[in-house]
Structure 1
Amino acid sequence: MRKTLVPRSVPPEALAGEDLHPLLRRLYAARGITSASELNYQLGALAHPQQLRDVDRAARYLMGAIEAGQRILVVGDFDADGATSTAVSILGLGMLGARHLDYRVPSRFTDGYGLTPGIIDSLRDEGRLPDLLLTVDNGISAHEGVTAAREAGIEVVVTDHHLPGEALPDASAIVNPNQPGCEFPSSGTAGVAVVFYVLSALRSLQRDAGWFGEKEPSLGALLDLVALGTVADVVPLDHNNRVLVEQGLKRIRARRMRPGIRALLDIAGRDPETIQASDLGFTVGPRLNAAGRLDDMSVGIECLLAEEEHRAYELARELDALNRERRSIETGMKEEAEKAVETLSLDGDELPGALCLFDETWHQGVIGLLASRLKEKFHRPVIAFALDDDGDLKGSARSIPGLHIRDLLATLDTREPGLLTRYGGHAMAAGMSLARNQLDRFRSTLNTLIEERTEPELFAPEIHTDGELEPDHMTLDTARLIASAGPWGQGFPEPVFSGDFRLVEQRVVGERHLKVLIQVPGVDRLVDGIAFNVDTTVWPTRGEWARLAYQLDVNRYKGRERLQFRVIYLEALGE
């Protein structure tokens, strides 16, 4: 699909008085940075825990449970944010004196999402009912689950970051930057960071009460996990989140990370000393997520909690095997889905505003990834459905900028009451359930809503770039400079440059990737380039010239570093 390259606007005179490299000044200004203070990534730049509504109330409940020697159970989620949130809670509460700790992660396949009455029933049957239950990365919509816990005599502290509904659950305390009345400056905080803040507030209460002697526990030791969960959950990297991620990356680069993270990086072939935020998102996160998608997220949590290197590696290898299985399943599903999309346009009509796809053989744990891949290819919201254990449909949605998918589902629910049996999510991702015989009705209603709300231009794919790069800046030093100027990620994107180049050599490697040798315009210099997952029916092309959107990359091989263009889009300009 052809894409339009759109240069980012740079406010005139932005950051003019700041002592920054001219290129960085331009890049930061294009991302809305107005002051060098927004580039201060020291821990002291973090927002204060007291800005979170109810954080002291939650901390007091936890402190009372620890002081009374009560049983505390953490209920997590089956994705990387939920896994890191659970690990941070178990490790942090242990550091702060809790001695009777346990955790429970719902099964994607049998329990569904979050705290449910069924989980309380199972805990009762197993003789594991706690005195206090702490939800992490879930709970804000768990009305029935919280009620069931309270009826069982359990205090419930909810920590979450998902958008709340019209009413809040009847919990003892709720900490969520998105709940009404919360003035925390970072609404995009991940679940793992929310519970980290709660632990910080708990430590402050304990400090004031004289719990610690000369040496108090350092919660900074948990920041590698906070960084991993924040990046893997693809929350916006606002200033507060960049501080958390950068501090976690510093620990990892200094090799002061959890054994499980070290093992996952090693298996992925990543050097901790040169790690970037993208490595957490594209190598560690997927391996962790694979456990929750295909098996049991407890495997991932145990890897993060492991204290012994050999145990961490054993679990990391298991996660790696699950990830390879996940990739195989996803590839097959993607091929089937693309064939289904082709049938939608056989009559020449344009694709609908949203693609709602279902195959009864599809795996529940992979439909989110499938929706994400198809969204990237077709640049429109995609909802992929699979059968749940009851024979109903479970859907995972991924959207595009300009279409808030969770709000769209809320409007659909109002227009067609009862069509959705449950739904929830964010602007760009959501989940839902509905009866199998209601798929056509859902598809029709959703596309009607999208047609009412959008213009056709929204579906024209664009790549936002930082414009052309001067040949003098196409160097290894510039690539290193940009790498050190992050962390880059969602909402604070890694710089992308554009330009027309002559491709001296082109060849397909690894079946789907294109290796190119690029002539830098205006100078007698060649640069290596790599484009991943190209359409091999188009490339290599006989044409020498192409329009590229690319990132500067440091290619490390056998102890040597070379400049490489990481090509994210290329368009032939003719022979």
Structure 2
Amino acid sequence: MKMKRWVTAKPNLETVRSLARSCGFTPLAAAALCARGIDTPEAARAFLETDPAKLHDPMLLPDMAKARDTIRRAIEQGKKIAVFGDYDVDGVTSTCVMTRVLRSLGADVRHYIPDRLSEGYGLSMGAMDRLAQDGIGLIVTVDSGVSAFEEIARARELGMEVVVTDHHECREELPDANAVVNPKRADSTYPFAELAGVGVAFKLACALAGDGQQRAVLEQYADLVALGTVADVMLLVGENRIIVAAGLRRMAETQNVGLSMLLHESGQQGKRLTASTISFILAPRINAAGRLGHADMAAELFLTDDPRRAQTLAMALCEQNKQRQATENQILEQALQKLRLEYDPLEDQVIVLAGEDWHHGVIGIVSSRICDRYACPTVLIALEDGIGKGSGRSVKGFNLYEALCDSAPLLERFGGHELAAGLTIREENIQQFHENMEAWAREHVNPQELMPILHIDCPIAPEFISTEATRGLDVLEPFGMGNPQPVFSMCDLLVEEITPISSDRHVRLTLSKDGQTYTAMLFGTGQGGCGFAQGNYVDAAFCLEINEYRGRCSVQLVIRDIQLSTCEVMADQKILNLYNRFMSDGALTAREARVLLPERRDLVAVWRHILSRSEDGWLSVPDGALSRRVSWESRREINIGKLLVCLDVFSESRLLSYHFREGQLNIVLKHIEGKADISKSVVLKTLQSMSKDCNTMQGSVI
């Protein structure tokens, strides 16, 4: 696990108690709200509002009247209408909501979603020509179009009208469309600018339905609108909170045949549905279709009213998601192999990897996983016929878009923002591109500022953890951007057990404190990524969830970060002080020297552990973890100083090299012929002399 910097809020206890009493919240729910500055009953009620009556008038959006009138006129005139969408979840749900609304109004309507692999994002000249040839008289864009100046001009040239609905950032200059509905317009006075693309489409649907129909339209389409809003990681505050809360209620009894079948095939029908259900179960299945070039399949699922067809499509989406996962894991494995050969954790500040036959619809996910794992900006490039299509992900503090701007002469095209971007590059420019990115990082970025930050709502004691307190947090749902699931912390928990699960992709921990024992889940980190071992004391940051198993409910800690406790760190530091004094040619007493002096069995235990855990001659572990892991595995007392002495002995013998960076110990094995004789080690002989130990370890061989 990459170390995180904890930023812990400290809500005033009396304010917490007052809010809990006034609003009937549990102490944990009140503490989470106060930690976020929501510390009065009035502020809490406003923040937690989910009443559809509080939705804003859609006619307040810029150009909404023009959009409504243009569409109504096209329907009256019998024009063919095309809803032009996008291949992600927001784009697909936007497309389906708008298509269903227009159908209900009697329109002659079809939808068009560009193929991710052959057409790319947004409107294109080819698509405009095809739609004109098909006799389309009006194009309504959803989740796209605000930057498609040339393409919209082409559509108008060909005699088509265009209504743009979008939510992306836009310039002051707008495309020459009949209407551009976007809450991000510079001249917009709409009270809430954070609608998703499907949120803007929903607002247009309300305008088309007429005055006083907003609640009825929400009731009909809230499930799809919520699906797109959560999947697009929009702020779940204000109108989005109202929409998503209504959508989750509607989803539980959805009348959309396709969505019902998707819930069934993904094993969620009848279960409690939350924003996490959308983010981690439904959205990946819908996105898989777009990533693999079959977004039309997802759109058809939500547009069909045939249960048999819906079941077939839902099964296909689930199967495509499995295919996407397999492709993703294959690329990840290949990328990690390249990483171990090409990435120098001591010097490199940016990861740039390229590979043949990598699916460019999937590399963005893999790039994100590597970026998260190493807390390092990452660009993965899929090569085909000398051209690379890349996808990059970054961390807070490293502006990926600005870095790409600096390398613009090497790129065919690029776009994106601070944390995510896409690019096209010729194969021969990749090496220079990597060097340019490294140079930009050295000039503009302080590596210390790239450490991920974890915001913690408040520390808690064992007596505050109960099923009642955990259920009380439900009042804060739905969780998401702008309203994350509360994170709590507890110090000095004893690690009683570490159990790898799902082929060591995750671990289940048994933790205890003050006579209370907890089950904790650490997702995305195998046992080899843990910076601690059984018997250690740790500080944990976690969310609280109810685990239901065979009719029994219990509280489960879902770990967001876990670190060695202060007592463990201080014990390490005490030993490190001895080690540093020894390495600086300082004097040690015999007793101090014996603390650092490894026996032959210690050296063997360390060496065997490194050999068995290294991949392609490289092992990277949290810097306080290796001594603890070897100690637990070998049942020997190997403190951190003894471990470093072992590494120094192996380094002297040219068996390996090692270094520390950003909380990680990195070991690189070296290839030597035959066996290495460590009995001549200067480090060992010096420590033996200091300890006045008669056992000279002559003839020790690794």
Q: TM-score, normalised by structure 1?
A: 0.89
**C-alpha spacing 1:501/1:299, structure 2 compared with 1 (3 Å):** same
* Aligned position for 1:248: 247
Distance 2:64 2:433 in 1: 39
Q: Measure how far apart 1:11 and its partner are.
A: 6.0
Correspondence for 1:364? 360
CA displacement, residues 502-537 of structure 1 (integer Å, 9 cap, x when unaligned): 233321122122122232x22x33232222232332
C-alpha distance in 2 between matches for 1:308 and 1:552 = 40
Separation in structure 2 between the aligned mates of residue 263 and residue 561 of structure 1, nearest angstrom: 28
- 1:322 Cα deviation from its structure 2 partner: 0.5
Q: Please name the residue that 1:27 is paired with.
A: 32
| Equivalent position to 1:132, from 128, 138, 143 | 138
The partner residue of 1:383 within 379, 394, 397 is 379
Q: Which has the larger radius of gyration?
A: 2
Looking at structure 2, the residues matched to 399 and 161 of structure 1 have their Cα atoms a distance apart, in angstroms, of 23
RMSD of aligned alpha carbons: 2.7
Q: Which amino acid letter does the alignment assign opposite residue 57 of structure 1?
A: K
Alignment partners' CA distance in 2, 1:110 and 1:269: 33
Q: Residue type matched to 1:162 in 2? A: H
What is the number of residues matched between the two proteins? 555
- Give, in whole Å, the separation in 2 of the partners of 1:458 and 1:530: 28
Shift, 1:320, TM fit: 0.6
Could you tell me which residue of structure 1 aligns to residue 311 of structure 2? Answer: 313
Q: Which amino acid aligns with 1:373?
A: R
Matching residue's letter, 1:515:
R
1:120 and 1:129 in contact (8 A); partners too: no
Superposition pairs for residues 527-542 of structure 1, below 5 Å? 527-538=518-529, 541-542=533-534
1:454-473 maps to which residues of 2 (within 5 A)? 454-473=445-464
* Alpha-carbon distance change, 148 to 40 in structure 1, aligned in 2, over 3 angstroms: same
What is the CA distance between 1:426 and its match in structure 2? Answer: 4.2
Greater Cα shift, 52-61 or 436-445:
436-445
Which residue identity lines up with residue 124 of structure 2 in the other structure? T
Describe the shift of the 1:220–1:50 C-alpha distance in structure 2 as closer, same or farther (beyond 3 A).
same
Residues 1:218 and 2:227 are matched in the alignment: no
Task: Report whether the alignment pairs 1:78 with 2:87.
Answer: yes
How do 1:366-515 and structure 2 match up within 5 A? Answer: 366-387=362-383, 391-406=386-401, 408=402, 412-413=404-405, 419-499=410-490, 500-512=492-504, 513-515=506-508
In the TM superposition, what is the alpha-carbon distance from 1:31 to its structure 2 partner?
Answer: 3.0
Distance 1:459 1:278 in 2: 27
Runs of 4+ in 1 over 6 A off after TM superposition: none
RCO greater where, 1 or 2, for CA within 8 Å and sep 6 or more?
A: 1
**1:71, CA displacement in angstroms?**
1.1
| Matching residue within 49, 52, 59 for 1:50 | 59
For residues 192-231 of structure 1, the aligned pairs below 5 Å read 192-204=198-210, 207=211, 218-231=217-230
C-alpha distance 565-78 of structure 1, shift in aligned 2 (>3 A): same
SS at match of 1:364: coil
Q: Percent identity, please.
A: 33
CA deviation after TM superposition for structure 1 residue 5, in Å: 4.5
Distance 1:484 1:270, change over 3 A: farther
1:447-506 deviation digits (Å, cap 9, x = unpaired) = 444444432222112322223223222111222222342111123211122223223332
Query: Match of 1:281, SS?
Result: helix
Q: 1:237 to 1:452 in 2, by over 3 A?
A: farther
Structure 2 residue 72 is the aligned partner of structure 1 residue 41: no
- Report the CA distance shift for 1:87/1:427 in structure 2 as closer, same or farther (over 3 A): farther
In structure 2, distance between residues paired with 1:423 and 1:91: 34
- The SS at the match of 2:98 is helix
Q: Which residue of 1 aligns with 2:4?
A: 4
CA distance in 1, matches of 2:215, 2:473: 37
Letter in 2 for 1:163: E
What corresponds to 1:349 in structure 2?
Answer: 346
1:291-350, Cα deviation, whole Å (9 max, x unpaired): 01113101111111222333222111100110001111111111222233333444x633
Taking the aligned partners of 1:478 and 1:216, their CA distance within structure 2 comes to 33
Q: Of residues 131, 144, 150 in structure 2, which corresponds to 1:144?
A: 150
The CA deviation string for residues 406-464 of structure 1, in whole angstroms up to 9 with x for no partner, is 4x26xx54x56654444333443332333333333443444444444432222112322
> 103, 108, 112: which is aligned to 2:120?
112
Query: C-alpha distance in 2, partners of 1:422/1:178?
Result: 25
Q: Would the aligned equivalents of 1:265 and 1:283 in 2 still touch at CA under 8 Å?
A: no
Aligned residue for 1:541, secondary structure, equals coil
Query: Structure 2: which 5+ runs fail to align?
Result: 569-627, 629-702
Contact 1:252 1:273 in 2 (8 A): no
Cα 1:444–1:194 shift into 2, 3 Å = farther
Structure 2 CA distance for partners of 1:342 and 1:236, relative to 1, 3 Å:
farther
5+ long unaligned stretches in structure 1: none
Q: For the residues of structure 1 that align with 2:426 and 2:383, how far apart are their CA atoms?
A: 10
Find the aligned partners of 1:89 and 1:4 in 2 and give their Cα distance.
43
Q: Structure 1 residues 198 and 314, CA, compared in 2 at 3 Å: closer, same or farther? A: same
Q: Name the CA distance, whole Å, in 2 between partners of 1:339 and 1:149.
A: 47
| 534-543 or 273-282, larger mean C-alpha shift | 534-543
SS of residue matched to 2:183: coil
The residue type equivalent to 2:47 in the other structure is: E
Aligned to 1:101: 109
